[in-house]
Chain A
Amino acid sequence: EAAVTQSPRNKVAVTGGKVTLSCNQTNNHNNMYWYRQDTGHGLRLIHYSYGAGSTEKGDIPDGYKASRPSQENFSLILELATPSQTSVYFCASASDSSNSDYTFGSGTRLLVI
Chain B
Amino acid sequence: GQQVQQSPASLVLQEGENAELQCNFSTSLNSMQWFYQRPGGSLVSLFYNPSGTKHSGRLTSTTVIKERRSSLHISSSQTTDSGTYLCALDYNQGKLIFGQGTKLSIKP
- Chain A positions within 8 Å of B, measured between CB atoms, are 31, 33, 35, 40-45, 48, 50, 58-59, 90, 92, 94, 96, 98-107
Contacts and interface: CB of A to CB of B under 8 A. Distances in A.
Nearest to A92: B43
Interface of B: 30-31, 33, 35, 41-45, 48, 86, 88, 90, 93-101
Listed from nearest, the 4 A-B pairs whose CB atoms lie closest are: A100-B48, A99-B94, A42-B98, A43-B98
Contact residues of B: prevailing secondary structure: strand
A50 B95 CA distance: 11
Contacts, number: 61
Nearest to A109: B40
A98 B97 CA distance: 16
Given A31-B93, A99-B31, A104 B42 contact: yes
B94 A48 contact: yes
Given A50-B93, A96-B93, A102 B98 contact: no
